[in-house]
Amino acid sequence: MNVLHVIAGMDPKMGGVCQAVRTIVAGLAELGVHSEVVSLDAPDASFIAHDSFPIHALGPAKGPWGYSEKLMPWLLDNFRRFDCIIAHGLWLYPTYAVEKALRRYKSQQPGAAPTLYVMPHGMLDPYFQRAAGRRLKAMRNWAYWKLIEGRVINNADGVLFTCEAERLLAREPFRPYQPKREVVVGLGVEEPPVYTPSMREAFLKHCPQLEDQPYLLFLSRIHEKKGVDLLLDAYLKTSVQVHGVEAKAPVAAGVASVATLPEQPRLIVAGPGLETSYGQQMQQVASKTKEAQAAILFPGMLSGLAKWGAFYHCEAFVLPSHQENFGIAVVEALACSKPVIISNQVNIWREIEGAGGGIVTDDTPTGVEEGLRQWQQMTQAQKLAMGQKAHDCFVRNFATGPAATHLLEAISYKK
């Protein structure tokens, strides 16, 4: 079977969707499925050569819609080579182009067209219509749905979801919403590479202060949606001691004295986005006191060996996101036997909480603070036991094999 994946961009800095595509391609390859990707990246982009599968980079795209005059002609010339098309993501030109090109192709080649599936990757989540500060974007999305996106979703052969929570949430924000099929296929994440000392060395090049220090790890985009401000505020309030220096943060009600609380590990806030206004604001928050400066580190984006070194050596992974469709980094942490402290807006929280692989909180200042305090008060034995449950959760729910099998079954469906 030959599958074409259509996506706006494959730049790793763009976040989880392109990483999800890479994972999907790898999982399908294990089942003998050939995949190719068409994107609107610049052909000379450095990351294009790093993947083992073909990427047809037709960009760079133009404007906020991601328009490219090359995409539709390329699709019409190449549809015949594929059995199935999967369009990843919504609200941009590539998804519109593939649906329109396929309708044209079917009129020219009756009975010979590939099937079309859309994988929204959380982009139908009602959060984006309800979040404060997104009123104009929400109105724009309503208009776009009526003009374009509703037809794309409802005309496709099916819509693919990474988890049950995503499927249910997708039904809420727009009308008419009448997909022909809704299929939860999951999203597998590959087993992490086996730990080697070189991973630790690569990570310490970014954070040399952590030679022998424990730390909590946030690894995602530095963005308001990710709840970084909640995390920093909660961390500073719970850091009663930081490496032997008494912090100036308030002590929780009911705590008798500073001496009764254990030392809080450092906090690593890693990921792209430090140059944005929000990223700069978060760095300013973390630099208000010498204690905070010593305790909170911003190493930027970590990849390759450095990323895995960060995962393997952290105490726990933290992501208090306001909306997270799946959370590949969350699952990578589970795969490294690391407990996760996440909000209940990460759509896979039920699987994690049910397995005992982490701490789940509300995405509120109080919720995140309570999550960190709960972790702080656990014994070392309890933390290790939770780490084992985290890995068990990964194997049972998020390994690549079952997800790839479910996806192949879905796109092979015959009426």
Task: Write the pLDDT tens digit of every residue in 161-198.
Answer: 999 999 999 999 999 999 999 999 999 888 999 999 99
* 52's tokens: 């083992």
pTM for the whole structure: 0.80
pLDDT of res. 111? 78
| Mean pLDDT, residues 348-377 taken together | 96
Confidence of residue 243 (pLDDT cuts 50, 70, 90): very low
Task: Tell whether the model's pLDDT for residue 309 goes beyond 70.
Answer: yes
Q: Using an 8 Å Cβ cutoff, are 35 and 25 in contact?
A: yes
pLDDT at 254 over 60: no
Residue-level pLDDT at 255: 32
What is the secondary structure of 118-186 as a DSSP string? Answer: EE-TTTT-THHHHSTT-HHHHHHHHHHIIIIIHHHHHHSSEEEESSHHHHHHTTSS-SS---S-EEE--
Poorest-pLDDT segment among 73-82, 89-98, 398-407: 398-407
Q: If you average pLDDT over residues 139-149, what whole number do you get? A: 96
Question: Across residues 213-227, what is the average pLDDT?
Answer: 96
Alpha carbon distance 382, 360 (integer Å): 16
Q: What is the pLDDT of residues 57-75, one digit of tens each?
A: 999 999 999 999 999 999 9
Q: Which tokens sit at 94?
A: 């590539």
If you compute the radius of gyration of the chain from its CA atoms, what whole number of angstroms results? 22
Beta strands 55-57; 296-300: pairing state: unpaired
Residue 251 sits at φ, ψ, to 5 deg, of -100, 140
Q: How many angstroms separate the Cα of 356 from the Cα of each of 330, 387, 391?
A: 14, 9, 10
3-state secondary structure of 318: strand
Residue-level pLDDT at 212:
83
The DSSP-derived string for 333-364 is HHHTT--EEEETTBTTHHHHHHHT-EEEE-SS
> How many angstroms separate the CA atoms of 322 and 364, rounded?
9
- Answer whether the bond into residue 272 is a cis peptide, omega within 30°: no
Query: Measured between alpha carbons, how far is residue 305 from residues 191, 198, 208, 391 in Å?
Result: 14, 7, 15, 20
Of 373, 362, 119, nearest in space to 236 by CA: 373
Q: What is the pLDDT of residues 83-116, one digit of tens each?
A: 999 999 999 999 999 999 999 999 988 778 999 9
pLDDT of residue 239: 81
At 263 the pLDDT is 63
Which pLDDT value is given to residue 218? 98
Does residue 289 surpass a pLDDT of 80? yes
One-letter amino acid of 297: L
Q: What's the farthest any 2 CA atoms get from each other in the chain?
A: 77
Q: What is the mean pLDDT of residues 388-398?
A: 95
For the chain, what is the mean pLDDT?
Answer: 92
Domains in the chain, please, with CATH?
2-188+400-411 (3.40.50.2000), 197-397 (3.40.50.2000)
The answer to whether the beta carbons of residues 318 and 296 sit under 8 Å apart is no
Q: How far apart are CA 5 and CA 25, in angstroms?
A: 9
Q: Is the peptide bond before 192 cis (omega within 30 degrees of 0)?
A: no
